[in-house]
Amino acid sequence: MTHQDSETFRRLMALADTTDQTAFREISSFAVATDNAGDAEAREVARKLLVTAANSFTRLLPMTFQAVAWNKGVLYEQDSFHEIYEKVLERTEGFSKVDDQTVAHILADDPPSLLVFRSIAALSLDELSLLLKQTQGLALPKDQMREFELGREVGKAEVQRWHEASGPLAKTLCDSIGGELLELPSTAPKTLFKSRKNKTDTKGGWRSVRVTAQQGVPYWELLYQRYVGGFFRQAMDASSSIKGDILEMAIVQLLSTKHIPFYRRRPREKVPSWDQAPDFLLPNRESATVALEAKLAEDGGTARDKAARVERFCIEARRKGVLPIAVIDGKGFYRLNDVTAPILKNTRGETFTLKTLERILVLPEIAAIKRSG
């Protein structure tokens, strides 16, 4: 009789179709045990069980991709952007006065206007910084430009630096929008590549900008530009560091509400004796008995990288005698074979989501921390 005909397999397969935490623990433990058995057929059976359990686990993943992280420190709200735009529109007389000198004066007088001009040019701060250096010989780091664009208070030396940079910056922006910069390389087939200027408001240079400002664009063109440009892409890129707070703040709230002591690692903080410091240590940093790692990923590639991190975290935690727990979420974890199945295995089934976070409260190790706390 093969392993797949055994009573144990049938029982575990029935468990694998459930979302019970006990099922994840038992199947994960079975998979770990077969790793050391030297039986190839048993390992294959365990792998199938684990993937089935991982597939069941995905039913517990809430959809977090609709939550756009919004970093107020580096993003303008719509009304504020509109105010800046209206100032630029007035100063350029409806984008009819867009010579280098006029744009330079606008930038010097009102640094946040940079946001409008580079939005027209479709240039990131990083790209604009590189263009400035290559075409104007001016070194103006993106982080410094961001300070001015956000209208933050700076010292006299920085203000002087900005005034000196406004001329080269204006020329770079005007040349880019006007069509004198960033032509497609001659070796790039036009059937396979489009110029970044090939969009409604700049395909005809400043003339297209004026027409768009005067007449607007048909709604379908706005939707198409949104389609090719991505949905909230700029905001996501600017706020990626805070998206994980969806998970971490939920953990903080649960532990705090239940009066369970914990230590939350600060970003980039090194924790003594940990090669890979987890996000949370319970009850404290010095004598932890439980460690939590929170991972959110909205694409499979990122989730695979985070699965590898969870594996290393689990190995190190167990070596220290600490219980490793993973809290994961995001559509990236719908990737089963090399992401969610290994995470379940490496955590021995102690993997949770926003929907099941309260399940950690019944773990003996956490119950013991609560009693002693």
| pLDDT tens digits, 151-183 | 998 888 899 999 999 999 999 999 999 877 777
Is it the case that residue 16 has pLDDT exceeding 60? yes
If we measure between CA atoms, which residue out of 159, 150, 167 comes closest to residue 103?
167
Mean pLDDT, all residues of the chain: 89
Of 75-79, 107-111, 234-238, 254-258, which gets the smallest average pLDDT?
Answer: 234-238
Chain length of the chain: 373
Which tens digit of pLDDT belongs to each residue from 280-298?
Answer: 999 999 999 999 999 999 8
Query: What's residue 231's pLDDT?
Result: 55
Is it the case that residue 75 has pLDDT exceeding 60? yes
**Ordered DSSP codes for 219-269:** HHHHHHHHHHH-SSHHHHHHHHHHHTHHHHHHHHHHHHHTT---EEPPTT-
Which tens digit of pLDDT belongs to each residue from 324-353?
Answer: 999 999 999 999 999 999 999 999 999 999
Token couple for 46: 């365990």
Is it the case that residue 146 has pLDDT exceeding 80? yes
Please report how the helices 156-178 and 100-109 are oriented relative to each other, as an axis angle in degrees rounded to 10: 140
